[in-house]
Every structure is written in structure tokens, then in C-alpha cells.
């Protein structure tokens, strides 16, 4: 396992993070505990959850595990999130001071801790003034309830605005951003990645295997079946079968993954995760697993180093499909200039 600083903070985390959205839903408590033990035994130190995961059950399961594993708990860098509804009332969601106060205290109770290392805003809130949210987070840092804070699913302009607003007021600065990022979803490279690099923000990619597409287990024009996420629900959100099956780029990426994996004697998942972990601004890749076996295979990616040629092949095969301007060749050419002048 490799270790990196958490964005521009001084905290050190493992290059792969355990995502726990499955805890309490797709993984029962015994399985969740085994997943946690497997992760820390492999050198993992970074655990990510959210109040909304399984209606709070994920945090509760983690809390009970931490309480019975004090030695391991002392090394865990713990992250959770707030923003989405945890009740039916008008103040039971959002990034207002009122809701975040209640949400953070409830998360601390479920986790059985007095503070969390990283508290993340689960999504942008167009209703609450940004200053209100940031002031609450600064107060939470001062009160010792959180060590750092970050965001999830923010756009580039939203991240940049938050960074500069916090700086203008002298408040604690954000350190991380959780975006969807993988070989099939690379649009954040247009705005979010540059904004993160500019601000020293560490990226924590979620859905690194694109909902199972990058495991290599699906075949072209063969609808999935069985005990997989798409097998159980082929129309599952952004990962839906038909749209990606019909996209030639999907199979260009999957075929390249399989070729590299077969040549190296590793799984396609490990190749996809290794490529992502080495992308600019990435601090830690979030691994979600329903079983210990899935997690063990994914953790092996921490020791896999792709060659320059392998990385280039994957990067080229997965290149985002964009218009020529502002993100295509013409737009990119205007982002720098020759020191010697001329065209």
C-alpha cells in the first residue's frame, strides 16, 4: 500500500480508501466487519462513509467495529458526509448551519467518536449561502469536531469559489473533493482537475470501476444477469446497460483493459484502478465492495505499476469525446504559448 497526504493537509492516508456505501445494505454486519479487517490488514488506513448510506446503518456498523478494534481504530483516518435528507422536515437536508449541526452530531453519535478526520459536503446546495456553510465548517474545525473538510460532486467553479471564499475570510481551507472518475467518466479533466491542482485539492474518486463495467465481466450485446449490480438492475442509473453497451468507446476501453490485464496476469479491475491512482491530483481511490473477495482483488492494484506504454494505451482508448472548442485540440492549444513568440 502506498501513502499520500490528504490533499494539502499534513494528514497521511492510504492511496486506496475503503468506501462503505454497501454496509448495511449489500453487505451485512459480519461481512462489513470482515471487509474492514481485510482492508486494514492490507495497510489501508482511510475509511469513507456518509450519514445517508443505508439510512445511517453504515456509520453505526463502522462505529461498532471501531469500538471493538481500538488498535486498528487508532490508525484509521475516518471520513463521513452530510447534506442529503435524513428526515422529512424542510431542515432535514442541505448545507445550512442548522442542518449541518444536527447532521454532524448525529454522525458522531452513530460512529461513536468525538470527532471525524474529514467531513464532506455531499453535494452543492443552491439554497444555502456558501459563506454560511464554510463558516460552520470553520467553527467545526475550531471546536475539534472535525480535523478537515472537503466536498463531493462539486463542479470546477463551485470548488474554486469555495476555496477563494474561505481564503478571503481567513477560514479553514478545504482539502479534498470526491468526484465520479474512471476510464469511462473523464469529463472532470476539463474543469474539476485543473481547479483541484490550482488549489492543492486532493481528489478521492468514487465509482472507479464504473459500476462494474471496468472489471471486464460484461460482454458486448449480452445483457447482464445474476448477482451483479447490473444483473439485478440493468437500468441502474448512470451505469445502465443499454447506453454503455451501445457506445463503441466502452468496448474500446474494456478491450484495452483486458489485453493489458491478460499480458500482465492480473485482473482488469486492478489495471483500471492502477491507471486512476496515478492521475493528476488523485490522493486516494475509493474502493466499494460487497464481498471480501472483491476487495482483496481490488487491493492488489496498490502494488501494480503500469508502464508508460500501458498508461498511454488506456488514456488514448478512453479519451473523452468532445467538440473542438473549448476542450478539443483548438481549445487546448490556446492554454499555453511559446516563449519565443510566433505562431
Strand bridging mode 12-14 / 3-5: antiparallel
69 touches 101 (CB < 8 A)? no
Closest CA to 192 of 325, 281, 320: 281
Residue 303 CA to residue 322 CA, distance in Å, equals: 33
The partner residues of 196 in beta bridges, in order of sequence, read none
Q: Which of 77, 72, 25, 79 is nearest to 49 (CA)?
A: 79
320, three cell numbers: 473523452
Angle at 7 between CA 116 and CA 159, to 5 degrees: 90
The 8-class DSSP code of residue 87 comes to: S
334/327 Cα distance (integer angstroms): 10
Q: Report helix, strand or coil for 24.
A: coil
Q: Is the peptide bond before 103 cis (omega within 30 degrees of 0)?
A: no
Residue 42 carries which DSSP code? Answer: T
Instruction: Give the whole-angstrom CA distance, residue 123 versus residue 162.
Output: 13
Gap between the Cα atoms of 304 and 266, Å rounded:
9
- Which position among 3, 53, 149, 218 bears the catalytic label? 53
Q: Residue 318 corresponds to which cell in the numbers above?
A: 478512453
The b/e string for 292-312 (b: 16+ C-beta within 10 A; e otherwise) is: eebbebbbbbbebebeeebbe
Clarify whether 181 is annotated catalytic: no
- The residues that are catalytic are 53
Amino acid at each position: 500500500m502506498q501513502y499520500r497526504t490528504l490533499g494539502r493537509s499534513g494528514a497521511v492516508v492510504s492511496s486506496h480508501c475503503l468506501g462503505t456505501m454497501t454496509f448495511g445494505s449489500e453487505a451485512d454486519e459480519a461481512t462489513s466487519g470482515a471487509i474492514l479487517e481485510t482492508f486494514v490488514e492490507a495497510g489501508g488506513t482511510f475509511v469513507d462513509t456518509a450519514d445517508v448510506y443505508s439510512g445511517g446503518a453504515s456509520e453505526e456498523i463502522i462505529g461498532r467495529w471501531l469500538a471493538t478494534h481500538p488498535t486498528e481504530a487508532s490508525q484509521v483516518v475516518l471520513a463521513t458526509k452530510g447534506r442529503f435528507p435524513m428526515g422529512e422536515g424542510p431542515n432535514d437536508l442541505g448545507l445550512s448551519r442548522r442542518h449541518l449541526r444536527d447532521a454532524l452530531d448525529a454522525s458522531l453519535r452513530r460512529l461513536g467518536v468525538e470527532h471525524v478526520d474529514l467531513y464532506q459536503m455531499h453535494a452543492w446546495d443552491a439554497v444555502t449561502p456558501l459563506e454560511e456553510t464554510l463558516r460552520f465548517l470553520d467553527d467545526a474545525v475550531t471546536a475539534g469536531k472535525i480535523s478537515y473538510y472537503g466536498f463531493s460532486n462539486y463542479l470546477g467553479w463551485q470548488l474554486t469559489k469555495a476555496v477563494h471564499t474561505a481564503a478571503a475570510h481567513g477560514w479553514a481551507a478545504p482539502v479534498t473533493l470526491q468526484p465520479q472518475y474512471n476510464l469511462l467518466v473523464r469529463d472532470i479533466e476539463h474543469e474539476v482537475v485543473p481547479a483541484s491542482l490550482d488549489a492543492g485539492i486532493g481528489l478521492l474518486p468514487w465509482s472507479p470501476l464504473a459500476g462494474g463495467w471496468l472489471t471486464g465481466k460484461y460482454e458486448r450485446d449480452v445483457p447482464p444477469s445474476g448477482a451483479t449490480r447490473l444483473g439485478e438492475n440493468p437500468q441502474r442509473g448512470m451505469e445502465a446497460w443499454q447506453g454503455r453497451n451501445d457506445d463503441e468507446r466502452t468496448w474500446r476501453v474494456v478491450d484495452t483493459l483486458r489485453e493489458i490485464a491478460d499480458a500482465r496476469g492480473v485482473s482488469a479491475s486492478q489495471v483500471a484502478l492502477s491507471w486512476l491512482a496515478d492521475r493528476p491530483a488523485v490522493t486516494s481511490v475509493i474502493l466499494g465492495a460487497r464481498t471480501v473477495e472483491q476487495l482483496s482483488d481490488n487491493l492488489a492494484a496498490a502494488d501494480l505499476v503500469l508502464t508508460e506504454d500501458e498508461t498511454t494505451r488506456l488514456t488514448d482508448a478512453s479519451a473523452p469525446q468532445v467538440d473542438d472548442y473549448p476542450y478539443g485540440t483548438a481549445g487546448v492549444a490556446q492554454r499555453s504559448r511559446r516563449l519565443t513568440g510566433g505562431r
